[in-house]
Amino acid sequence: MGTSFSCRPAISKWKRLGRGIMDFCLPPRCILCQKELENSDDPLCPTCAARMPWTGENAVQNGMRFDRCLSAVYYTGDLRESFHRYKFNAHWHYSWIYGRWMWECLKNNDPDCLRFDCISWTPLSLPRYLKRGYDQSRRLALAVSRLSGLPLRSTLVKCKHTPAQSGTASADLRWANVSGAYRLKPGAAVKGKRILLMDDIITTGATLEEACRVLRDGGARELCCLTLARSAQL
Ligand SMILES: [Zn+2]
């Protein structure tokens, strides 16, 4: 994986003009340390680019109910604070940068990744969605869908309002919390499908295992997971 790259595709001169005005009013900042950037095409300052916690050759881990899970970065240091701004402080536009990192991770570790029939995600419960106003994993899935051309499909419903996993210390408690948390979305066509399931962070794997149990019971043929980050403790 490269150390940094543009978070924006080639753009027209009008869009470039609009972006110049935006940059004047709201100077672009490093997505990790928030230092003001000289080059708005790069989401990272040189210092953060040099010490990005890419997972590299440790991007892949196996699961019980999913075939494997790929993660672009380790959940550590400034990345953790950046993700908190994304998830809890309405920096929703980070999804386009995170999504590009995830897409690069997928391409690097799974050259045949366009075989997937669709991209899906582990959804928030309705109360949490209404409170937060956006579904952070869906936004990541949307970004990877746009970059890959793979269709985005809603396949799961979160039917149990669980405590935030990030605040749940015990691994046993995490597994207990997510048990029965998801069900198949009515009308979701998962039988025989190869599904790329996306989530923001994998820690114990409990959330993705439970979501994949539901999809597997629904007849999914292949389940590969893709997350932005993985716990550094795994
Ligand atoms: Zn920085």
State which amino acid sits at residue 75.
Y
Q: Which residue in this structure is represented by tokens 């869906």?
A: 138
Strands (E), 104-207: 118-121, 156-158, 182-184, 194-202
Instruction: Tell how far the Cα of 140 is from the centroid of ligand 1, in angstroms.
Output: 21
Radius of gyration of the chain measured on its C-alpha atoms: 18
The rounded distance, in Å, linking the Cα atoms of 117 and 13 is 35
The rounded distance, in Å, linking the Cα atoms of 9 and 158 is 34
Instruction: Tell how far the Cα of 7 is from the centroid of ligand 1, in angstroms.
Output: 15
Instruction: Tell how far the Cα of 45 is from the centroid of ligand 1, in angstroms.
Output: 4
Instruction: Tell how far the Cα of 74 is from the centroid of ligand 1, in angstroms.
Output: 16
Q: Are 71 and 79 in contact (CB under 8 A)?
A: no
The rounded distance, in Å, linking the Cα atoms of 185 and 195 is 14
Please, where in the chain does CATH 3.40.50.2020 lie?
Answer: 52-231
Instruction: Tell how far the Cα of 127 is from the centroid of ligand 1, in angstroms.
Output: 34
- In this prediction, residue 2 carries a pLDDT of 41
Instruction: Tell how far the Cα of 76 is from the centroid of ligand 1, in angstroms.
Output: 14
Angle at 48 between CA 44 and CA 50, to 5 degrees: 110
The rounded distance, in Å, linking the Cα atoms of 50 and 212 is 35
Instruction: Tell how far the Cα of 51 is from the centroid of ligand 1, in angstroms.
Output: 9
- In this prediction, residue 202 carries a pLDDT of 95
- pLDDT per residue rounded down to tens, the chain (234 residues): 444 444 444 556 766 666 566 555 667 899 999 999 987 788 999 999 999 999 999 999 999 999 999 999 999 999 999 999 999 888 989 999 999 999 999 999 999 999 999 999 999 998 888 888 889 999 999 999 999 999 999 999 999 877 665 555 577 777 788 889 999 999 999 999 999 999 999 999 999 999 999 999 999 999 999 999 999 754
Instruction: Tell how far the Cα of 42 is from the centroid of ligand 1, in angstroms.
Output: 10
The rounded distance, in Å, linking the Cα atoms of 9 and 6 is 7
The rounded distance, in Å, linking the Cα atoms of 67 and 224 is 5
Instruction: Tell how far the Cα of 199 is from the centroid of ligand 1, in angstroms.
Output: 24
Buried b (16+ CB within 10 A) or exposed e, 135-144: bbbbbbbbbb
- In this prediction, residue 24 carries a pLDDT of 59
Topology given in CATH for the domain delimited by 52-231: Rossmann fold (3.40.50)
Instruction: Tell how far the Cα of 43 is from the centroid of ligand 1, in angstroms.
Output: 8
Say how many residues make up the chain. Answer: 234
